[in-house]
Protein backbone atom coordinates (compact mmCIF):
# COMPACT_ATOMS: atom_id res chain seq x y z
CA UNK A 1 0.00 0.00 0.00
CA UNK A 2 1.38 3.38 -1.02
CA UNK A 3 0.45 6.87 0.17
CA UNK A 4 -2.79 7.02 2.16
CA UNK A 5 -4.55 10.25 3.12
CA UNK A 6 -6.50 9.74 6.35
CA UNK A 7 -9.41 12.11 6.91
CA UNK A 8 -10.36 11.65 10.55
CA UNK A 9 -13.12 13.14 12.66
CA UNK A 10 -12.20 12.46 16.31
CA UNK A 11 -15.60 13.71 17.50
CA UNK A 12 -17.65 11.12 15.59
CA UNK A 13 -19.73 8.57 17.47
CA UNK A 14 -17.63 6.30 19.63
CA UNK A 15 -14.51 8.46 19.35
CA UNK A 16 -12.40 5.69 17.81
CA UNK A 17 -11.10 7.78 14.92
CA UNK A 18 -7.79 8.31 16.73
CA UNK A 19 -7.15 4.55 16.64
CA UNK A 20 -7.43 4.29 12.91
CA UNK A 21 -4.07 5.90 12.00
CA UNK A 22 -2.23 3.39 14.18
CA UNK A 23 -4.17 0.47 12.72
CA UNK A 24 -3.43 1.65 9.17
CA UNK A 25 0.31 1.92 9.92
CA UNK A 26 0.30 -1.52 11.53
CA UNK A 27 -0.97 -2.86 8.20
CA UNK A 28 1.84 -1.21 6.24
CA UNK A 29 0.16 1.96 5.02
CA UNK A 30 2.15 5.17 4.54
CA UNK A 31 -0.29 7.53 6.27
CA UNK A 32 -0.66 11.29 6.19
CA UNK A 33 -3.44 12.57 8.43
CA UNK A 34 -5.71 15.48 7.60
CA UNK A 35 -8.80 17.11 9.09
CA UNK A 36 -12.03 17.19 7.11
CA UNK A 37 -11.54 20.83 6.09
CA UNK A 38 -8.11 20.25 4.50
CA UNK A 39 -9.27 19.17 1.06
CA UNK A 40 -6.62 21.23 -0.76
CA UNK A 41 -3.81 19.66 1.25
CA UNK A 42 -5.17 16.18 0.57
CA UNK A 43 -5.26 16.83 -3.17
CA UNK A 44 -1.72 18.23 -3.13
CA UNK A 45 -0.47 15.06 -1.39
CA UNK A 46 -1.64 12.99 -4.41
CA UNK A 47 -2.67 9.93 -2.35
CA UNK A 48 -3.20 6.51 -3.87
CA UNK A 49 -6.10 5.97 -1.49
CA UNK A 50 -8.21 8.14 0.81
CA UNK A 51 -9.48 6.71 4.08
CA UNK A 52 -12.20 8.42 6.09
CA UNK A 53 -12.70 7.63 9.77
CA UNK A 54 -15.92 9.22 10.92
CA UNK A 55 -19.69 9.13 10.70
CA UNK A 56 -21.99 9.51 7.71
CA UNK A 57 -21.55 13.28 7.54
CA UNK A 58 -17.80 12.81 7.25
CA UNK A 59 -18.18 10.27 4.43
CA UNK A 60 -19.91 12.80 2.18
CA UNK A 61 -17.12 15.34 2.64
CA UNK A 62 -14.45 12.69 2.02
CA UNK A 63 -16.28 11.39 -1.06
CA UNK A 64 -16.18 14.89 -2.52
CA UNK A 65 -12.40 14.98 -1.99
CA UNK A 66 -12.00 11.48 -3.45
CA UNK A 67 -13.95 12.53 -6.53
CA UNK A 68 -11.54 15.38 -7.13
CA UNK A 69 -8.32 13.47 -6.36
CA UNK A 70 -9.27 11.08 -7.98
CA UNK A 71 -8.47 8.20 -5.64
CA UNK A 72 -10.52 5.32 -4.21
CA UNK A 73 -12.27 6.05 -0.91
CA UNK A 74 -12.16 3.56 1.93
CA UNK A 75 -14.54 3.99 4.87
CA UNK A 76 -13.81 3.09 8.49
CA UNK A 77 -17.15 3.71 10.23
CA UNK A 78 -16.72 5.20 13.70
CA UNK A 79 -19.94 7.22 13.89
CA UNK A 80 -23.18 6.37 15.65
CA UNK A 81 -25.49 5.27 12.84
CA UNK A 82 -22.91 4.33 10.17
CA UNK A 83 -25.69 4.05 7.60
CA UNK A 84 -23.37 4.27 4.59
CA UNK A 85 -21.29 1.35 5.80
CA UNK A 86 -24.44 -0.70 6.47
CA UNK A 87 -25.77 0.06 2.99
CA UNK A 88 -22.52 -1.00 1.30
CA UNK A 89 -21.79 -4.01 3.54
CA UNK A 90 -18.60 -2.43 4.92
CA UNK A 91 -17.61 -4.01 8.27
CA UNK A 92 -18.75 -2.06 11.31
CA UNK A 93 -15.82 -3.42 13.34
CA UNK A 94 -12.98 -0.87 13.22
CA UNK A 95 -10.18 -3.42 12.83
CA UNK A 96 -11.99 -5.29 10.04
CA UNK A 97 -12.88 -2.06 8.24
CA UNK A 98 -9.25 -0.91 8.47
CA UNK A 99 -8.10 -4.22 7.01
CA UNK A 100 -10.48 -3.70 4.09
CA UNK A 101 -9.25 -0.12 3.69
CA UNK A 102 -5.66 -1.32 3.25
CA UNK A 103 -6.07 -4.69 1.53
CA UNK A 104 -9.30 -4.23 -0.41
CA UNK A 105 -8.94 -4.29 -4.21
CA UNK A 106 -12.60 -4.19 -5.29
CA UNK A 107 -14.14 -0.78 -5.86
CA UNK A 108 -17.63 0.38 -6.81
CA UNK A 109 -18.50 3.64 -8.57
CA UNK A 110 -21.13 5.63 -6.67
CA UNK A 111 -23.14 8.79 -7.23
CA UNK A 112 -22.51 11.82 -5.05
CA UNK A 113 -25.41 14.07 -4.11
CA UNK A 114 -25.29 17.71 -3.06
CA UNK A 115 -27.76 19.62 -0.92
CA UNK A 116 -26.92 23.12 -2.04
CA UNK A 117 -23.14 23.03 -1.71
CA UNK A 118 -23.04 20.24 0.90
CA UNK A 119 -22.16 16.77 -0.45
CA UNK A 120 -24.04 13.71 0.76
CA UNK A 121 -23.97 9.98 0.08
CA UNK A 122 -27.08 8.66 1.84
CA UNK A 123 -30.10 10.94 2.11
CA UNK A 124 -31.32 14.44 2.86
CA UNK A 125 -34.72 14.85 4.51
CA UNK A 126 -37.03 17.60 5.70
CA UNK A 127 -39.86 17.07 8.17
CA UNK A 128 -39.68 14.28 10.73
CA UNK A 129 -36.08 13.24 10.08
CA UNK A 130 -34.40 16.43 11.38
CA UNK A 131 -36.87 16.53 14.29
CA UNK A 132 -35.92 12.95 15.15
CA UNK A 133 -32.21 13.80 14.87
CA UNK A 134 -32.62 16.60 17.42
CA UNK A 135 -34.52 14.32 19.79
CA UNK A 136 -31.81 11.65 19.43
CA UNK A 137 -28.82 13.94 19.91
CA UNK A 138 -28.39 13.58 23.67
CA UNK A 139 -29.03 9.82 23.58
CA UNK A 140 -26.37 8.73 21.09
CA UNK A 141 -23.59 7.88 23.54
CA UNK A 142 -25.95 5.87 25.73
CA UNK A 143 -28.14 4.14 23.16
CA UNK A 144 -25.98 4.14 20.01
CA UNK A 145 -28.01 3.64 16.78
CA UNK A 146 -31.14 2.95 18.88
CA UNK A 147 -31.12 6.66 19.74
CA UNK A 148 -32.50 7.40 16.27
CA UNK A 149 -35.46 5.08 16.79
CA UNK A 150 -36.24 6.68 20.15
CA UNK A 151 -35.82 10.13 18.60
CA UNK A 152 -38.22 9.23 15.79
CA UNK A 153 -40.84 8.03 18.26
CA UNK A 154 -40.56 11.24 20.25
CA UNK A 155 -40.73 13.39 17.12
CA UNK A 156 -43.78 11.52 15.85
CA UNK A 157 -45.77 12.50 18.93
CA UNK A 158 -45.26 16.25 18.66
CA UNK A 159 -44.18 17.10 15.08
CA UNK A 160 -46.49 18.82 12.60
CA UNK A 161 -46.63 18.27 8.83
CA UNK A 162 -44.57 20.56 6.62
CA UNK A 163 -46.02 22.61 3.77
CA UNK A 164 -43.84 22.06 0.72
CA UNK A 165 -43.48 21.87 -3.03
CA UNK A 166 -41.17 19.30 -4.65
CA UNK A 167 -39.96 19.47 -8.26
CA UNK A 168 -37.89 16.88 -10.13
CA UNK A 169 -36.05 18.17 -13.21
CA UNK A 170 -38.45 21.11 -13.28
CA UNK A 171 -41.68 19.07 -13.10
CA UNK A 172 -43.86 19.23 -10.01
CA UNK A 173 -43.92 15.95 -8.11
CA UNK A 174 -45.80 17.09 -5.02
CA UNK A 175 -47.40 20.19 -3.53
CA UNK A 176 -49.12 20.17 -0.16
CA UNK A 177 -48.41 19.10 3.39
CA UNK A 178 -46.10 16.22 4.17
CA UNK A 179 -44.66 14.44 7.17
CA UNK A 180 -41.35 13.95 5.40
CA UNK A 181 -39.57 14.61 2.10
CA UNK A 182 -36.48 12.50 1.40
CA UNK A 183 -33.97 12.94 -1.42
CA UNK A 184 -31.75 9.89 -1.62
CA UNK A 185 -28.55 8.38 -2.98
CA UNK A 186 -28.16 5.12 -0.99
CA UNK A 187 -31.45 5.93 0.78
CA UNK A 188 -30.13 4.84 4.20
CA UNK A 189 -30.67 7.00 7.29
CA UNK A 190 -31.58 6.94 10.96
CA UNK A 191 -29.52 3.95 12.09
CA UNK A 192 -31.26 1.32 9.99
CA UNK A 193 -34.21 3.07 8.32
CA UNK A 194 -34.29 3.89 4.65
CA UNK A 195 -36.06 4.35 1.35
CA UNK A 196 -35.51 2.47 -1.90
CA UNK A 197 -32.73 4.08 -3.91
CA UNK A 198 -29.95 3.08 -6.30
CA UNK A 199 -26.70 4.97 -5.63
CA UNK A 200 -25.34 4.06 -9.07
CA UNK A 201 -28.12 5.09 -11.46
CA UNK A 202 -27.26 8.80 -11.70
CA UNK A 203 -30.67 9.75 -10.31
CA UNK A 204 -31.74 11.22 -6.98
CA UNK A 205 -34.68 9.19 -5.67
CA UNK A 206 -37.44 11.19 -3.94
CA UNK A 207 -39.96 9.88 -1.42
CA UNK A 208 -42.71 12.10 -0.01
CA UNK A 209 -44.79 10.87 2.93
CA UNK A 210 -47.98 12.86 2.65
CA UNK A 211 -49.64 14.35 5.74
CA UNK A 212 -52.23 12.14 7.41
CA UNK A 213 -53.14 10.66 10.76
CA UNK A 214 -50.50 9.87 13.37
CA UNK A 215 -51.71 6.27 13.31
CA UNK A 216 -50.80 6.04 9.62
CA UNK A 217 -47.53 7.81 10.39
CA UNK A 218 -46.64 4.92 12.70
CA UNK A 219 -47.26 2.53 9.80
CA UNK A 220 -45.00 4.62 7.56
CA UNK A 221 -42.29 4.61 10.24
CA UNK A 222 -42.43 0.81 10.28
CA UNK A 223 -42.27 0.81 6.48
CA UNK A 224 -39.07 2.87 6.54
CA UNK A 225 -37.53 0.37 8.96
CA UNK A 226 -38.71 -2.56 6.84
CA UNK A 227 -37.58 -0.93 3.59
CA UNK A 228 -40.94 -0.81 1.83
CA UNK A 229 -42.58 2.51 2.67
CA UNK A 230 -42.87 3.29 -1.07
CA UNK A 231 -45.64 0.67 -1.33
CA UNK A 232 -47.85 2.46 1.20
CA UNK A 233 -50.88 4.54 0.29
CA UNK A 234 -50.19 8.23 0.85
CA UNK A 235 -46.58 8.00 -0.33
CA UNK A 236 -45.43 9.74 -3.53
CA UNK A 237 -42.20 8.76 -5.27
CA UNK A 238 -40.15 10.20 -8.10
CA UNK A 239 -36.64 11.13 -9.09
CA UNK A 240 -34.40 13.30 -11.20
CA UNK A 241 -30.94 14.73 -11.76
CA UNK A 242 -32.07 17.95 -10.07
CA UNK A 243 -34.58 18.18 -7.23
CA UNK A 244 -35.95 21.34 -5.67
CA UNK A 245 -37.70 21.39 -2.31
CA UNK A 246 -39.44 24.59 -1.22
CA UNK A 247 -41.09 24.84 2.19
CA UNK A 248 -43.63 27.28 3.58
CA UNK A 249 -41.22 28.42 6.28
CA UNK A 250 -37.56 28.11 7.18
CA UNK A 251 -36.94 24.58 8.36
CA UNK A 252 -34.17 22.04 8.91
CA UNK A 253 -32.92 19.43 6.45
CA UNK A 254 -31.14 16.38 7.83
CA UNK A 255 -28.26 15.83 5.39
CA UNK A 256 -26.46 12.58 6.27
CA UNK A 257 -26.98 13.34 9.95
CA UNK A 258 -25.98 17.01 9.77
CA UNK A 259 -28.68 19.67 10.08
CA UNK A 260 -28.93 22.41 7.45
CA UNK A 261 -31.43 25.25 7.97
CA UNK A 262 -33.12 26.66 4.86
CA UNK A 263 -36.53 27.55 3.44
CA UNK A 264 -35.65 25.79 0.20
CA UNK A 265 -32.84 23.62 -1.15
CA UNK A 266 -31.71 22.55 -4.59
CA UNK A 267 -30.33 19.03 -4.83
CA UNK A 268 -28.04 17.81 -7.59
CA UNK A 269 -26.16 14.60 -8.34
CA UNK A 270 -22.82 13.72 -9.91
CA UNK A 271 -23.18 10.25 -11.43
CA UNK A 272 -20.37 7.79 -10.64
CA UNK A 273 -18.45 10.63 -9.00
CA UNK A 274 -16.22 8.52 -6.77
CA UNK A 275 -15.01 4.96 -6.22
CA UNK A 276 -15.51 3.29 -2.86
CA UNK A 277 -13.50 0.31 -1.63
CA UNK A 278 -16.09 -2.44 -1.18
CA UNK A 279 -16.03 -5.92 0.40
Q: Report whether 145 contacts 192 (CB < 8 A).
A: yes
Please say whether the beta carbons of 1 and 27 come within 8 A.
yes
Distance between CA atoms of residues 102 and 153, nearest Å: 39
Q: Does the CA dihedral 43-45-108-145 come out positive or negative? A: negative
Q: Are 267 and 124 in contact (CB under 8 A)?
A: yes
Number of helices followed by number of strands (H, E) in the chain: 9, 15
Has 258 been annotated as catalytic? yes
Cβ pair 98, 23 in contact under 8 A: yes
Q: Which residues pair with 265 in a beta bridge?
A: 245
**Distance between CA atoms of 257 and 244, rounded to whole angstroms?**
20
Q: Considering 16, 210, 258, 275, which one is annotated as catalytic?
A: 258
190 phi-psi bin (left φ>0, alpha ψ -120 to 50, beta other): left
What is the rounded distance in angstroms from the CA atom of residue 87 to the CA atom of residue 135?
Answer: 24
At 163, is the secondary structure helix, strand, or coil? strand
**67 vs 106: CA distance, rounded Å:** 17
Active site members: 258
Amino acid sequence: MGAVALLANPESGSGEADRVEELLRDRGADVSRFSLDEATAVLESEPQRIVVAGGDGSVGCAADVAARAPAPLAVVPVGTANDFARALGIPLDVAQATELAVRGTRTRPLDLGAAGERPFVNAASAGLSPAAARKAHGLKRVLGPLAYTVGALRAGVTAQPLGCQVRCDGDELFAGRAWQVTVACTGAFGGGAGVEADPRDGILDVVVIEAGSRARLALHAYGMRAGRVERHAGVTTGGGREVEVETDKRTSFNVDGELVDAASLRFTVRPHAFEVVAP
